[in-house]
A and B are shown apart, each in its own frame.
Chain A
Amino acid sequence: MAQEMFYYQALNRALDEEMAADDSVFILGEDVGLYGGSYRVTEGLYARYGEWRVRDTPISEGSFTGLGVGAALIDMRPVVEIMTVNFALLALDAIINMAAKIPFMSGGQFPMPLVVRMPGGVARQLAAQHSQRLEHTLMNVPGLRIAVPATVQDAWWQLKQAIRSEEPIIMLEHELLYFSKGELDETADAIPMHRAVVRRPGEDITIIGYSRMALLAEEAAALLAESGISAEVIDLRSLRPIDWATCIASVQKTHHCLVVEEDCVFAGAGAEVAAKLAEACFYELDAPVQRHGALDIPTPYNRSLEIASIPTAESIAEAARRLVAEPPAAGDEK
């Protein structure tokens, strides 16, 4: 049943299927229509569904995201594409002040079936204004949910779930994953959107990651296996809410925990994960929970500096080795 395809194609299929099934689903964003989307996610949909359902917008992130909010008030299911997470800074009013607040402020009168998709992460030499990770900003907003699919299967299934949900959902898609290949099995188990999954079982250390970092953590686990360390890898899949039960069960087994993120370590997503697990598993841990993430700098354009600013499979493996071998030194942020 499984079919090999690119990540972008899985997203495209999810959109196509949901649009075919429900005519209140529509897409809007920059170059999503005639052009087919800057990462080809909306390819072919303009021809199939017409301009009202696949709307090319002006470069007005604040207002076209707000347009999605307005349409969602009367039971449309807008899927807004913001060309990159970085541009979403211009739409934060619509996302944080409007989408996340209206259901609550209205006393529960208005659900908000809105999906906002954002490519993001550090890609290749896009420099500081196109390489940010903003999950920490959105995680702190009650009323939002955040999905971070790492695989082809999750890209397809989580987007479908997001479109069907009545809640405002942010989809953070890593730019380096769009052209990664994987298997899509439409008959596979329908995992709840917020559930974390164990990507690789292990005994000695739990490595928790999300999006592209979950995949690098798997690569790191393979490296660690060569040196006799059995690492369990958890892909969070959702950053709000976070599936603590899966994380805690794993840490109770391995007694070591390394949280990996591509975002800057300071006040990042990993800080929340580490804090929660330290609270929940303090007496189970053989060493303090460690975070491994990006250096606390804007992303450099220079390729070697860019690579050095974020975790790699090797650096994750190295951090895990140190954590298992001995309590790490203070201030380890990379």
Chain B
Amino acid sequence: MDRFMLHAMLQDMLLARSFEERAAREYTEGNIAGFLHLYPGEEAVAVGVLHAAESSDYVVSTYREHVHALVRGIPARSIMAELFGRRDGCCRGMGGSMHLFDRERRFMGGYAIVGETFPVAVGLAYATAMRSQPEAVICFFGDGAVNQGTFHESLNMAALWNLPVLFVCENNHYQIGTEIHRHSAVSDVFKRACGYRIPAEKINGMDVLRVYEATQSALQRIREGAGPQFLEMETYRFRGHSMADAGNYRPQVEVEAYRRMDPLSIVEKAEQPLYPSAENIASAGPDTINGFSEHLRAEQLINADEIEQMKQQVEQTVEDAVDFARRSPEPGMEEALAALDCNRGQEVLI
């Protein structure tokens, strides 16, 4: 992987973290309301997956989708403005945090009813397959969604008709406050896909490079005509389910353990001595993550100055996004009605 790509991924991860933490702050200050589901801890998944995808591939996401949207290339400004409910939001303030859409960037929506992303993705894939187009559809969902009927119905159809869907489970181990062993008879999510003869694999979702590679090869198989593929990304959200949730149901030791695997901390570790101590290695968490930092260091792909520069850029982008959102006007009811009637054409109703 080249230096440019690595830097871009790192930049997106930093932007994701900074954007989300800022959104939390704006929420507590009353500028964002409703439900706000944040992504810190899971950045490696969105970044790894979407950097491995083509920009022509379709993306379908859930209510925890700000980062998918950001990495897809929707400007931070228009996402933040949408969170603020303003006219310059990517959905004109009609969708909000859980419903980001961008037709041009093929970001096919954030869906807030758990399990809806499956049939939407299958429908997009059906249409592309029917027209013999090369695009794949990336379908994000959480571990909680796999107990919905649509999961089983849609995987069945995707496999039956050999549709180009990459199912990406963001397994953060919790459906709101219920831990996976209390909501699923089989806690290895990927095994469920085997029931529909969909090739599936469990990936360390805290390791962006591993996520990237797995996605790349899964997408390659899809484009070669192998049909749907399934990746279970083991990850973790550092925050509660939403801003309304402190996440107190989780053992502190678990939160700490995952914090040690913070996909962003690898950046710092890359700046550690070239020959780390045993403690350094131990504290870096699983080997895959350590492997990434070693890779970065060994290849001398990044240095402290560059990271600092990146962080400053990201802060600036987020600051600018908030500023933009604040200045954007409130939409009027006529704009709401125009959105509702976007498909009415010239027809005059009674």
The reply to whether B120 and A73 contact each other, CB–CB distance below 8 Å, is yes
Q: B350 within 8 Å of A by Cβ?
A: yes
Q: A231 within 8 Å of B by Cβ?
A: no
* Chain B contacts for A70, CB-based, 8 A: 60, 108, 119-127
Interface centre among B89, B92, B109, B338 (most CB of A within 10 A): B109
Q: B182 within 8 Å of A by Cβ?
A: no
B94-120 vs A, CB cutoff 8 Å, 1 = contact: the mask equals 110001011100001101010010111
Interface centre among A78, A102, A244 (most CB of B within 10 A): A102
Q: B279 within 8 Å of A by Cβ?
A: no
Task: Using A58-B156, A63-B154, A109-B101 as known contacts, say yes or no to A74 and B343 having CB atoms under 8 A apart.
Answer: no
Stretch at the interface among A92-100, A284-292, A294-302: A92-100
The reply to whether B91 and A109 contact each other, CB–CB distance below 8 Å, is yes
Stretch at the interface among A7-15, A110-118, A125-133, A255-263: A110-118
B152-195 vs A, CB cutoff 8 Å, 1 = contact: the mask equals 01101100110000000000000000000000000000000000
* Chain B contacts for A106, CB-based, 8 A: 91, 94-95, 99, 101, 103, 109, 339
* Cross-chain pair count, CB within 8 angstroms: 159
Complex-state Cα separation, A76 to B120, whole angstroms = 13
The reply to whether A74 and B127 contact each other, CB–CB distance below 8 Å, is yes
Q: A29 within 8 Å of B by Cβ?
A: no
Task: Using A52-B130, A67-B157, A105-B91 as known contacts, say yes or no to A112 and B343 having CB atoms under 8 A apart.
Answer: yes
The reply to whether A66 and B339 contact each other, CB–CB distance below 8 Å, is no
* Chain B contacts for A110, CB-based, 8 A: 101, 103, 109, 342
- Partner pick for B113 among A93, A108, A111, A194, CB 8 A cutoff: A93
Chain B interface residue count, Cβ-Cβ cutoff 8 angstroms: 50
* Chain B contacts for A334, CB-based, 8 A: none
- Partner pick for A62 among B101, B153, B342, B344, CB 8 A cutoff: B153
Task: Using A57-B157, A142-B340, A241-B349 as known contacts, say yes or no to A107 and B91 having CB atoms under 8 A apart.
Answer: yes
Tell me the nearest residue of chain B to A50, going by C-beta.
B130
Chain A interface residue count, Cβ-Cβ cutoff 8 angstroms: 51
The reply to whether B91 and A76 contact each other, CB–CB distance below 8 Å, is no
- Partner pick for B349 among A55, A62, A68, A194, CB 8 A cutoff: A194
- The A-contacting residues of B in range 50-102, CB under 8 angstroms, are 58, 60, 89-95, 99, 101-102
Least Cβ–Cβ distance between B154 and chain A, in angstroms: 5
* Chain A contacts for B157, CB-based, 8 A: 57-58, 60, 63-64, 67
Complex-state Cα separation, A197 to B208, whole angstroms = 63
The reply to whether B350 and A93 contact each other, CB–CB distance below 8 Å, is no
Q: B254 within 8 Å of A by Cβ?
A: no
- Partner pick for A105 among B101, B103, B127, B338, CB 8 A cutoff: B101
The reply to whether A64 and B130 contact each other, CB–CB distance below 8 Å, is no
Q: A192 within 8 Å of B by Cβ?
A: yes
Interface centre among B120, B122, B150, B160 (most CB of A within 10 A): B120
A156-178 vs B, CB cutoff 8 Å, 1 = contact: the mask equals 00000000011100000000000
Complex-state Cα separation, A72 to B122, whole angstroms = 12
The reply to whether A241 and B344 contact each other, CB–CB distance below 8 Å, is no
Complex-state Cα separation, A60 to B154, whole angstroms = 8
* Chain B contacts for A21, CB-based, 8 A: none
The reply to whether A69 and B91 contact each other, CB–CB distance below 8 Å, is no
The reply to whether B123 and A67 contact each other, CB–CB distance below 8 Å, is yes
Least Cβ–Cβ distance between A111 and chain B, in angstroms: 3
The reply to whether A167 and B95 contact each other, CB–CB distance below 8 Å, is no
Interface centre among A165, A242, A244 (most CB of B within 10 A): A165
Q: A243 within 8 Å of B by Cβ?
A: yes
Task: Using A103-B340, A103-B343, A143-B340 as known contacts, say yes or no to A73 and B108 having CB atoms under 8 A apart.
Answer: yes
The reply to whether A62 and B127 contact each other, CB–CB distance below 8 Å, is no
Q: A151 within 8 Å of B by Cβ?
A: no
Tell me the nearest residue of chain B to A67, going by C-beta.
B123
* Chain B contacts for A46, CB-based, 8 A: none
Q: A53 within 8 Å of B by Cβ?
A: yes
The reply to whether B126 and A67 contact each other, CB–CB distance below 8 Å, is yes
The reply to whether B116 and A66 contact each other, CB–CB distance below 8 Å, is yes
The reply to whether B153 and A109 contact each other, CB–CB distance below 8 Å, is no
Least Cβ–Cβ distance between B137 and chain A, in angstroms: 8
Q: B2 within 8 Å of A by Cβ?
A: no
The reply to whether A98 and B120 contact each other, CB–CB distance below 8 Å, is yes
Q: A42 within 8 Å of B by Cβ?
A: no
* Chain A contacts for B30, CB-based, 8 A: none
Tell me the nearest residue of chain B to A106, going by C-beta.
B101
* Chain A contacts for B91, CB-based, 8 A: 105-107, 109
Q: A222 within 8 Å of B by Cβ?
A: no
Q: B251 within 8 Å of A by Cβ?
A: no
Q: B347 within 8 Å of A by Cβ?
A: yes
The reply to whether B122 and A107 contact each other, CB–CB distance below 8 Å, is no
Q: B273 within 8 Å of A by Cβ?
A: no
Complex-state Cα separation, A176 to B153, whole angstroms = 31
Complex-state Cα separation, A108 to B102, whole angstroms = 10
Chain A residues within 8 Å of B, Cβ to Cβ: 26, 52-53, 55, 57-58, 60, 62-74, 76, 78, 93-94, 97-98, 102-113, 142-143, 165-167, 192, 194-195, 241-245
Give the 5 A-B CB pairs with smallest separation, nearest first.
A70-B123, A66-B119, A108-B342, A111-B343, A107-B92
Known: A111-B342, A166-B345, A194-B350. 12 other contacts (CB 8 A): A63-B150, A66-B122, A66-B154, A70-B125, A71-B123, A71-B126, A72-B123, A74-B58, A105-B94, A105-B109, A107-B339, A110-B342
Pairs across A and B, CB under 8 Å, 24 listed: A62-B119, A62-B150, A63-B157, A64-B153, A64-B157, A66-B116, A66-B120, A66-B123, A67-B122, A70-B126, A73-B109, A73-B124, A74-B124, A74-B128, A76-B130, A94-B119, A98-B120, A102-B101, A103-B340, A104-B342, A105-B101, A142-B340, A143-B340, A167-B343
